[in-house]
Structure 1
């Protein structure tokens, strides 16, 4: 008997090593050696300074640093994404639980009374009309994972959790970049407002000059009208800029978990950002730096394991069941005579399902190829984003220099035409044209500078923002609790830098500094 048991155990152990999933070996992508014709760039080698996870400090703006810290700590969308990762970890625990025997206990007690005059009971019957029953039992079921279906489901759950961890990193990077972009735009609007205010002061002086010349009968009233038109038009444009600034400020407030009505950032008159030059890594390393690429790769790994699950459906599904306990009509349950037990082994093999299993297997292969296509698409999009922002960074540098020259020329023209008009050597129309050109050139320069700083932010985002695939939690780290742990289940221990601990400050939407 023992030999048969050992033989069965050996067979179970041997069969449990059968993994029907194909070997996971994606086709390697052939990647370019550099970044096109961006000759001003130097590809960063591993020894060079790489992007830091707090990359925004390169801009040298304390206000931006404080806002980024608040967003990382309090942003509700990011916290919700962390909870999604915890739920994925719980799904891992659920999938893995089927590898263990499932134990259940039950207890019941009942008492029944029948009628003395029930049907088929004779008038002289002396049988009992009361019956009681007490029962305690334990049931154990176990499904040996002969074909690795359960383990492949567990691996799929782990890979899905890793993909969600990558999605969390992508959401965090997107939040960081969105906040930095909004802040750059806000400061750009501040500088535009400063230009408008400077021009408005100049135009007020021009209105006074035209009025003085009108009083002296050396200039027509049309000059005053033209000067006032220019002044009021510029004031309206400044009001529009202030409106845009308020809207951007509201967006920043929401990102840092503050109610817009109570949030304010003091304006400035000029840019205070450092001249940032993000280190650009080799194209081959981009696949290790982008969270979306890592998430797409984990999708391929999941689809690969799903093939093994579909293959396992062609083999017998074996399960073991056992039950033992005591049953009595009183409380003498510990007696062996009142014991009971039951055990069974069941093997189920579908013989004909009309092609359902083959369809499932074929669909699994198709889904894997689909994930390969999606992965390649994500990689191409990643290269496009980097190349686009490299082009923007390159061209905006040149455009900024060119626009600075245009501003200098326009300001000289404005000064000369106003001097000529004051001396009576030209009409005021020439002065208005020069003023419009100078204002447009200065505003255009601020817009180009804003786009240049934003291009650097977008380039950093495209390069992965200092993230690395090595930050993904390992498959052995994903269990949210131990098998026999029944306490401290409110929050799981953070892994991969993703925690779900709540911050009491998240409920404070007032924007007041404590």
Structure 2
């Protein structure tokens, strides 16, 4: 029987392995080479609220929109795919982590054989030619992680698992943004359709008026034809707007996984502009973006893989042990006289491989450099997107205010032109120009409001789906 002190000695060696050295570089987060603050653009209607909820789409205060987002998060196929990838990476992490512990197997066998009695060496008559053989033993083959290869593998797997989670969060954030943006587009198209239909009614009334005036000898046939052209153009415009609205609804149906989706009519003006974070947000807020976190997790995994490649340059030491029993009768297998055991260490040392292992270290180092470049690029892109969103939000607010003034002025001009035409002081061409000007100005105002709302969506996406004032959080913790 294997002496107990030897078994204990091997157990101690296996236990102390995690405390051995780990080859390869330890991860250190690189400094982000970005300004400490975003561009100082003064947003219109800036809010001093300390926090914007991570459920930012609810700030638009639209029950239909809330339902669409929740349905998309539950049914969208891209989300399901991302969740499945997270489950796969978690399972891989458990598999890699299991390699740090001994694997214990049981091997049992039973056989019955007959030996020839007419062989070159005849069997004594006392030895039966038919024999039984039964054995059962437990064994282990455990790699001693002297150089940290297994621990670096687990570090890499853990980072990869985090990367897939952040990838899922990125898909989640992108999906929310797509749903909200398409919903705003749909409401904008509905508002444009309603406005155009109102303009169409006005032009049809003008067409009927010019026909009556033609019959009375006051207007010419030219006025009638011009009124007919203007009316027909708006009919075509309404048809095109309805087509675009239906396509936007179909897109929302795909995003939410509900192909039979129908959205009731609503208004764009009822949607409020949500609270806007103050100017000068610290650039460290970029760490909240899941795509940047995903890039960093990939960099951590690539950094750990350098250690895995370097560990292959050192000897691989494994512990092997087996303990069990063997006998001719199954009932004797557990008896002390039937006991068998083996134990030992194996060493595998690379001596000459023509630089193959060194090349693998160089490959892992190059991949780490690629991951670092990708991480730096994601930070720069994130910083730019936040700055762009702040600028767009500010300028679209200014544009909306100017278009509001233009729409009001064009509406007053239309009323004046219609009254002058009815009184005979001006031609119908002035009425057509005023109608066209008002319709264009009103459509531009609706589109500008949609752009402003969409800019707020882009800002929330650029900030990682939520925002919290670090100074306010520090005060709250005191």
TM-score by length of 1: 0.82
Correspondence for 1:391: 391
Cα distance 1:11–1:426, how it changes in 2: closer, same or farther (>3 A)? Answer: closer
**Deviation sequence 1:201-259 (CA, Å, 0-9, x none):** 11110111011012112222232222122112111111111111111112212222212
CA contact (8 A) 1:16 1:147 kept: no
Secondary structure (helix, strand or coil) at the match of 1:265 reads coil
Correspondence for 2:476: none
Cα distance 1:15–1:224, how it changes in 2: closer, same or farther (>3 A)? Answer: closer
Report the alpha carbon displacement of residue 10 of structure 1 after superposing the two structures with TM. 6.2
CA contact (8 A) 1:324 1:339 kept: yes
Aligned equivalents of 1:241, 1:295: Cα separation in 2: 40
Moved more, 34-43 or 295-304: 34-43
Structure 2: state its 5+ residue gaps.
469-478
CA contact (8 A) 1:137 1:326 kept: yes
**Deviation sequence 1:376-435 (CA, Å, 0-9, x none):** 100000011111111111111111111122212322232222222223333323322222
Correspondence for 2:444: 444
Give the aligned CA root-mean-square deviation in angstroms: 3.0
Aligned equivalents of 1:71, 1:208: Cα separation in 2: 48
Aligned equivalents of 1:235, 1:404: Cα separation in 2: 25
Report the alpha carbon displacement of residue 366 of structure 1 after superposing the two structures with TM. 2.0
Correspondence for 2:284: 285
Cα distance 1:42–1:13, how it changes in 2: closer, same or farther (>3 A)? Answer: farther
Correspondence for 2:68: 67
Aligned equivalents of 1:39, 1:150: Cα separation in 2: 53
Cα distance 1:26–1:381, how it changes in 2: closer, same or farther (>3 A)? Answer: same
**Deviation sequence 1:140-177 (CA, Å, 0-9, x none):** 11111111110111111111111212112211111111
Report the alpha carbon displacement of residue 467 of structure 1 after superposing the two structures with TM. 7.2
1:111-510 paired onto structure 2 within 5 Å? 111-112=112-113, 132-259=132-259, 262-280=260-278, 282-332=281-331, 333-466=333-466
**Deviation sequence 1:340-369 (CA, Å, 0-9, x none):** 332231011101111111111122222222
CA contact (8 A) 1:152 1:306 kept: yes
Size of the aligned set, in residue pairs, is 463
CA contact (8 A) 1:177 1:457 kept: yes
CA contact (8 A) 1:51 1:465 kept: no
Report the alpha carbon displacement of residue 101 of structure 1 after superposing the two structures with TM. 0.7
Cα distance 1:242–1:114, how it changes in 2: closer, same or farther (>3 A)? Answer: farther
Report the alpha carbon displacement of residue 293 of structure 1 after superposing the two structures with TM. 1.0
1:45-84 paired onto structure 2 within 5 Å? 49-84=50-85
Secondary structure (helix, strand or coil) at the match of 1:107 reads strand
Cα distance 1:215–1:128, how it changes in 2: closer, same or farther (>3 A)? Answer: farther
1:36 aligns with 2:35: no
Aligned equivalents of 1:60, 1:269: Cα separation in 2: 12
Structure number with the higher helix fraction is 2
Report the alpha carbon displacement of residue 113 of structure 1 after superposing the two structures with TM. 6.3
Report the alpha carbon displacement of residue 135 of structure 1 after superposing the two structures with TM. 3.1
Report the alpha carbon displacement of residue 16 of structure 1 after superposing the two structures with TM. 4.1
Report the alpha carbon displacement of residue 21 of structure 1 after superposing the two structures with TM. 2.6
